[in-house]
Amino acid sequence: MTDSSLRVGLLVDGEPTSEQRAAAEWIGARDGAAVETVPFDALDAGDGAGRVDVLWWHRDRPLGGVNPLADAAPAVEAFLAAGGGLCLSLYAFAAVDALSVESVPPDRVGDDALGEPTGVLWRSLRADHPALDALDGLRHPIRRRGTVPGVRYERVLPADGEPLASTVRGGTEVPEEVTVVSWPAGDGAVLGIGAPVLFAEPPTEERGEPDRELDATRDRLLAGCLRSLASSDPVPSRPESAADVRRLRERVAEAGEDGPGGRPAYHLTAPANWLNDPNGLIRWGGRYHVFYQYNPGGPYHNTIHWGHAVSDDLVTWRDEPVALSPSPDGPDRDGCWSGCAVDDDGTATILYTGGRGRDQLPCLATTDDPELRSWEKYDGNPVIEAPPADLDVLETDDWRAEFRDHNVWREDGTWYHLVGTGLSDGGGAALLYTADDLREWTYEGPLLTGGPDAGAVWECPELLDLGDRRLLHVSDYENVVYFLGTLADGELAVDSEGLLDHGDFYAPQSLDDGDRTLTWGWLPEARDVAGQWDAGWSGALSLPRVIELGDDGDLRQRPAAEVTDLRADRIADHRDVRLAADDRRRLDAAGATIEIDAEIALEDAEAVELSVFETPDRAEHTPIRYERDGTLTVDRAPSSNDPRAFTDPQSMSAPPYDEPLSLRVFIDRSVVEIYANGRHCLTSRVYPTREDAVEVSAVAEGGRASISRLTAWRLDDAMEPPEGEASTGDTASVAARERRP
Ligand code: DQQ
């Protein structure tokens, strides 16, 4: 549709303001687009909407407790039902909950004093939205100076609307300030725009040099928004069914995230947007359920919900709809943070951290849904009202008390519960509570405190029973530290400690599978906010790891045996590869989604390097280097030509318990997950940019080395279509998996 066939009704309550007059002039001057003023009371009288394609309420003054849209809602909704479009800009965006399309209005409504070019940061997943037809890219500053209306979702998300854009300010992404939202409504649609789209001349004192470029962007953006409302394409809303969620996943793949440096194929990921900690891991009705911290608003950490995936076999996963969302009136209004799931005598029950304002407190929810899709929140939430009164819990700018994350288990009929915290005078701590009923807890004391040298806060504490000893792990903002020891009188007597993984691995959680402990960790991105925003997704989970004690009492870690079921084709099978000093050998193990199982001996070399994600000219490659002193390093400096990717090396010590070094390396588009000698883990996130960054080579340095064995397989995708649906690619890979012995 061209502007000339666009008929706009400019909604006014009372005399039009100079801004409204300027907006009317602007649209009227667009190549003959028709504009008329439609008073709200004309709508009430059943007049005014029939002649226009789009109603536009452009309100530049605060609502001041009056919302004319509320009275006009029946007329506006009838107009929408018949295919009309409604644009709510500036303060009018704050009035959207007067319509039945939305119950949660923008939570930030006020003036902004601009100091730098400010505008919209469009979501990459919605880059094909017709509003952007006349613009290139995702970042569109529209206003540089002045005091302007600023209306947005900041700590909450709309309950039903789909966020289309956040904020860019002075060249910096501010994803948590959501300024453009769309809602389907009958055959029509509603678009809310809280970004500063202003047309009147600014007051003299705010005028500077004219910003012609920014004005032109504003014009294109707003004309695109109005045109999009006049088109008959239904605006996609927030996905609700498993099939919707699957389509969201496919969108990311279609956006080109399915090659080297892209979204992992066989590591568990969210369908799009943001994922962090694994949560609520439970085997229920014979299936594995993994929930995870999820932001449906985009690939950034805010407004956290619980995403959900389910598996019968631990390697193929199916996306489920979002399982848990913040309740606008609940103690979890600002987010449903990390927690766990337990079987309470046949009732699946979760305990998680509710965030609201500066408080974070434990909340409980239960379900009788065998699929664990829908949860009922306990109306007595929070189940603990405040951190222990006799403890000096750390207060920060964000939180009145750092007090979160839950690990609950039952022993001899008593429930035990760990909560992570920080002490004002003593670093991180894991606090122990007990209960007969999951809703009433008694504080027992700290299970373990880190002391002043530990990280300020211990997040996501988890106590595992490994037979002879217990393992407590905590996430201290940087590392996942584990402590091995014995439990006596509610305290852990520690005899050794270490790191569960030495790379990009955080906030793990486990489930007891009957005879083994399976642990998943969050693999955070190692690229900046802009890189994550453009990709449209962020975060993956590690492979499920079996954690246990060896006969020597030390920790062992290996991928769950089922992971071998992902092996599709064997692509390399080398024996006795002799590496002369500095003689690089290309191994025929190319691929971006592969597993390498190798045994390497240094002989008289100083180091040996296995290089993965390598382009034929080696412009991009990721060396995994093993040195004589047992140091194993992933060198990310040459990994990527993308300046947004982190380049710091990641190392661990893998002493030669059993020379030669045995390695299992899982390469998955942007993941390198390494298991050394069945004991030590190092996971790195890397982002090769080139399609041909798939080669593998090896070289010895300062002497000879040998690879006694190197086998490689191409691995299948982990994600399955929702029940009752099969896309061709998935069917092929599932069938291939079934054929394998
Ligand atoms: N992530 C959660 C918190 C936890 C942190 C919030 C660890 O509950 O402390 O998304 O990554």
Closest ligand 1 atom to 301 CA: 10
Can you tell me the mean pLDDT for 506-533? 97
Whole-number Å distance, alpha carbon 326 to ligand 1 midpoint, is 15
In the reported structure, the alpha carbon of residue 459 is separated from the centroid of ligand 1 by a whole-number distance in angstroms of: 7
Return the best residue to mutate from 406, 459, 538 for the ligand 1 pocket (most ligand atoms within 8 A of CB). 459
Q: Are strands 607-614 and 622-627 parallel, antiparallel or unpaired?
A: antiparallel
pLDDT tens per residue, range 442-481? 999 999 999 988 999 999 999 999 999 999 999 999 999 9
**8 A C-beta contact, residue 139 and residue 168:** yes
Query: What pLDDT shows up at residue 242?
Result: 84
What's the gap in Å between 338 CA and the centre of ligand 1?
A: 6
pLDDT for residue 73: 95
| pLDDT higher at 523 or 658 | 523
pLDDT of residue 643: 98
Please report the pLDDT score of residue 135 as a whole number.
97
pLDDT of residue 43: 85
> What distance in angstroms lies between residue 551's CA and the mean position of ligand 1's atoms?
34
For ligand 1, residues with CB inside 6 Å are: 276-277, 293, 304, 337-338, 353, 404-405, 459-460, 475, 506-507
* Cα of 414 from ligand 1 centre, angstroms: 26
Q: Are 38 and 9 in contact, with CB atoms under 8 Å apart? A: yes
Smallest Cα–Cα separation from 616: which of 590, 651, 643? 590
Q: In this predicted model, which residue has the larger pLDDT, 620 or 247?
A: 620
Q: What is the per-residue pLDDT across 325-353, written as a single tens digit (0 to 9) for each?
A: 999 999 999 999 999 999 999 999 999 99
395 is written with which tokens? 């207060």
Tokens of 697: 């080579």
Closest residue by CA, ligand 1 atom 9: 459
Q: How many Å lie between the centroid of ligand 1 and the Cα of residue 112? A: 30
How far apart CA 543 and CA 168 sit, in angstroms, is: 35
What are the angstrom distances between the C-alpha of 674 and each of 15, 69, 121, 196, 603? 68, 58, 36, 48, 22
Q: Which residue has the higher pLDDT, 674 or 451?
A: 674
Band of pLDDT at residue 570, cut at 50, 70 and 90: very high
Residue whose CA lies nearest to ligand 1 atom number 5 = 459
Distance 473 CA to ligand 1 centre (A): 14
Residue to mutate (ligand 1; options 334, 360, 404; most atoms within 8 A of CB):
404
Class of residue 692 by CB neighbours under 10 A (exposed 0-12, middle 13-18, buried 19+): middle
pLDDT tens digits, residue range 431-448?
999 999 999 999 999 999
Q: Is the pLDDT of residue 525 over 70?
A: yes
List of E strands, 524-655: 537-538, 540-541, 545-549, 555-559, 567-579, 585-587, 593-601, 607-614, 622-627, 631-634, 650-653
Across 67-81, 137-151, 225-239, least confident range: 225-239
Looking at residue 363, its pLDDT comes to: 98
Distance of CA 364 to the CA centre of its chain: 23
Ligand 1 atom 6 nearest Cα? 337
pLDDT digits (tens, 9 = 90+) for 76-89: 999 999 999 999 99
Q: For every residue of 116-137, which 3-state class applies, written as one string?
A: CCEEEEECHHHCCCHHHCCCCC
Which residue do the tokens 């006795």 mark? Answer: 576
Show the beta-strand stretches assigned E in 258-402: 273-284, 287-295, 305-311, 317-324, 335-344, 347-356, 359-367, 376-377
- Say whether pLDDT at 725 is over 70: no
Using the mean position of ligand 1's atoms as its centre, give its distance from the Cα of residue 507 in Å: 7
Q: Which atom of ligand 1 is nearest to the CA of 339?
A: 8
pLDDT for res 730: 36
What is the percent of the chain where pLDDT is above 70?
95
Task: Assign 739 a pLDDT band (cuts: 50, 70, 90).
Answer: very low
Ligand 1 pocket test, pick from 460, 522, 525, 542 with the greatest ligand atom count within 8 Å of Cβ, gives: 460
CA distance to 8, 15, 81, per residue, from 46 (Å): 17, 20, 15
Q: Read off the pLDDT of each residue in 125-131 and give the average, rounded to a whole number.
A: 92
**Which numbered atom of ligand 1 lies nearest the CA of 304?**
10
What are the angstrom distances between the C-alpha of 102 and each of 98, 191, 238, 609, 639? 8, 12, 12, 56, 45
Q: For residue 287, what pLDDT is reported?
A: 97
Q: Mean pLDDT over residues 663-672, rounded? A: 98
| pLDDT surpassing 80 at residue 32 | no
Neighbouring C-beta atoms of residue 308, cutoff 10 Å:
25
The b-or-e profile of 443-475 (16+ CB within 10 A means b, else e) is bbebbbbbeeebbbbbbbbbbbeeeebbbbbbb
Question: Residue 736 has what pLDDT?
Answer: 36
Cβ partners under 8 Å of residue 739, min gap 6: none
In the predicted model, is pLDDT for residue 723 greater than 80? no
Residue 558's contacts (CB-CB under 8 Å, 6 or more residues apart) are 545, 546, 664, 675, 678
Q: Is pLDDT above 80 for 529?
A: yes
If one residue of 293, 403, 480 were mutated to test the ligand 1 pocket, choosing by the most ligand atoms within 8 A of its CB, it would be 293
Residue 364 CA, ligand 1 centroid: distance in Å: 17
- Ligand 1: residue of 305, 340, 405 to mutate (most ligand atoms within 8 A of CB) is 405
Q: From ligand 1's centre to the CA of 143, what distance in Å?
A: 35
> Which two tokens mark 5?
């066939």
The model carries a pTM of: 0.95
* 658 has a pLDDT exceeding 80: no
pLDDT of residue 298: 97
At 655 the pLDDT is 83
In this prediction, residue 375 has a pLDDT band, given cuts at 50, 70 and 90, of very high
What pLDDT does 205 receive?
77
Question: Look-up: residue for tokens 């029946």?
Answer: 74
Average of per-residue pLDDT values in the chain: 93
Residues forming a β-bridge with 348: 343, 367
Predicted pLDDT at 239 = 83
Given this model, what pLDDT does residue 114 score?
A: 94
pLDDT of res. 113 = 96
Q: What percent of the chain has pLDDT over 90?
A: 87
The continuous run of DSSP H or E covering 296 comes out as none
Higher pLDDT, 48 or 676: 676
Residue 733 pLDDT > 60: no
- Tell me the CA–centroid distance for residue 48 and ligand 1, in Å: 50
pLDDT exceeds 90 at position 737? no
Ligand 1 center to residue 419 CA distance, Å? 12
Residue 712 amino acid letter: A
